[in-house]
Structure 1
Amino acid sequence: MAGYIFTLDSLDSLKSCIKKGCYSTNLSAPKNGLWMIHHEGTFADYCGMKPGDSVYFFIDRMIYGRGEMVDIEGDCKYMNYPRALWPSFPEFKNIKDEMLLDDESNLCNRCVCFFKPSPGFFENGIDMDDMLASNPQKIRMLRTLWKLSFIKVDEEEDQALRDAILKRNEASIGSSVDCFNHDSAFHESLSSKVSSRHSLSVKDVLFSCKDGSKLRHEMAIEVAVMDMLSRCKESIFGRWDYVSHQVAASPFKPIDYMDKMDVFGYRKIEGFGTISKYLTIEIKKDAAKKDVINQTMKYVDWINQEYAYGDYSMIEAFILASDFPEHVVKYRDEVCARNYMKGRRPAISETWTNLKLIKYKYNELTGMLDFEQL
């Protein structure tokens, strides 16, 4: 499973989150009746959460863990109140009875996720430098934790975080000693409150961002894609066991200058833990231009180098845009090929051309996006 590292501002906040077994991002208000890009990015992150995903907390250089997301009435994440993703600021008196976190201060908490200690949240945290040094080859996303409420990490990085925390706290495993307190009463109380109206729905996000058949923000398209790939076993993009967005795809450098893949994922061989395919999706809200072809191929080469280790056949790449002019399609056909050797005895020469072009369109009837392969 994946893992999440949530940032908090104090130990009191940490104790409160762990005791209740829930986390919710405190979002700023929408501006002029519209979500901003950073709001949409947070919603995309929540869309990817699944029961069993690991939970860690980051406070003042220290990392605490570990817990895991739990299924409460069918899911591990919900809207805090019905239509919480509509970009308005509701009156507390009108929604109080339907709020999962029901204090007036929680109006800005639009989404909430639930977790339990597994095996426990140890009071003995690990300094960020020690964590990075514990397994530098596997820890990638932690290095990009900057100006974010939380980040998602893949299975390898999750395992590296878990290993470091468990080794540091081996003597406390299976004991409540030196662990933060968790009370299951809050989870139990939710059974009578959670309903289908709390299910995380991205329709309001897409509707508020629509501009005819297109969306105004590429991040809103990421929300739709993350939602679909996390929920659906099959889609026009295929089946993927792990998906994330805004994933670093360049050598380490100042965060603001790092290249990031809009969507990244991988698929395993069914019934086994072996990764067989990697995914990258580059998203453009308007018609694609030639430079997006080069940009996507740069990400293909990065995945080949960092994840597939020379085997281009493991990579499936997509560009998602509102339209593709003929000259862009022609350019794709001209330059999107990679020759590589597969195997050694015998050595087999192969050519990779697996870059697909997908058009999107906002559907007024369904409130979702429709996709069509060119």
Structure 2
Amino acid sequence: MNAPRRRRLPAALLLAGLLPATAEASMSTGDTPALDVRLLDGTSLPSNVFAGHPVVVTFWAAGHPASVAALESLAALPPEAAGAAAFLGVALDADLALATDAAERVAGGDAWEHAFNGRQAEPVDTRFYDAPYGIPAVWLLDGDGRVTWTGHPDDLEPALAEAVTAAGDTPAWGPGVRAARIAWAGVLEAAGSRPEDLLDGAERLSELGELDAATAGPDAAANAAGVVAALAGQPGVERSRLKLAGDADPSGARALIRLRELAGDAAEADAAARRTRVDTLEAARRAEDRNDDAAAMASYAALVEEGPADAPEVIAAAERLEVFRAKGMTADAARAEADAAEAARRLLLARNYAENFREENAVEELEELLERFPESPSAAEAAELKAELEAMLR
């Protein structure tokens, strides 16, 4: 590249607040900056959109000719040199219109995104600037978002070539990839909030063709697994999804089913296990709300014993379990009390069945009672009633 070398900006511009002036603003190799930036058009670009792509973050200003020339030189890189890299220009001007015009004219290619940090309007996030350098300056991030190199754009090419090689077959950054990544980011966010939003996002992925491939690529499979995992953390999400599918958005529901297919059997099995844990946690909380401490503690204890210990719902159960233990309750006593209550409920249900001439249903209830709670106070009475009913059915 033949861009003019950088020069230090005059002290007057430093005083005007265009640049951070302390070493505390520097970014070091290995750091992971949060690239949640505001684009020149006012929209936001979440940092996880860049996952898997090398990112060239270039700091420049339309009012600084050397940095404009460096930006133009970077924008002229041939496709094989740019590879899968995304290029993010961070304009440090105070004039949005000036920065927008220059960015579109000088580096308006498909691989480029442009952010605005109007230093005189609001403070620049100092994480976006490597203080030892005047502008133009570059950070190079790898596909995991770690800084692998910082310096002047003139010196970038060897480090960029290495990053492009490491990225392998990652598709070149462009409008299609950008739209798909933003859609995935939205779906992942929606998966942790409202099912309605998730269905909208899944339908958007369908429109983009992201869900059409018979065999998912690694990115699609990983993202789908993330959606499925987030879904599993929502109590009752299956019922919500089915209701939405029937009432309002069958196409979105089909897209959501396709997401699960992309996630794969292992991810779906993990999600199913998590759903079971979440449902158990919610049932325990409901039992606690109705002052059924024995049932609540028994459920919390079961969650903690079955694990995994780092699952959020298991951690929550462990915290509640400690509260009960502080009151002098034990898990074994709670289980025994909860089992006795459940056995008594089943015995009552079996009697109701028998009184309404539904002897077979009564026998089924009694059999389950005796299998699950053989040591409960209700077991003897249940065995006696079962024998009577079976004699009647012969």
Q: Normalized against structure 1, the TM-score is what?
A: 0.26
Higher strand share: 1
Of structures 1 and 2, the larger Rg is shown by 2
Q: Normalized against structure 2, the TM-score is what?
A: 0.25
Higher helix share: 2
Q: Which has the higher contact order (CA 8 A, sep 6+)?
A: 1
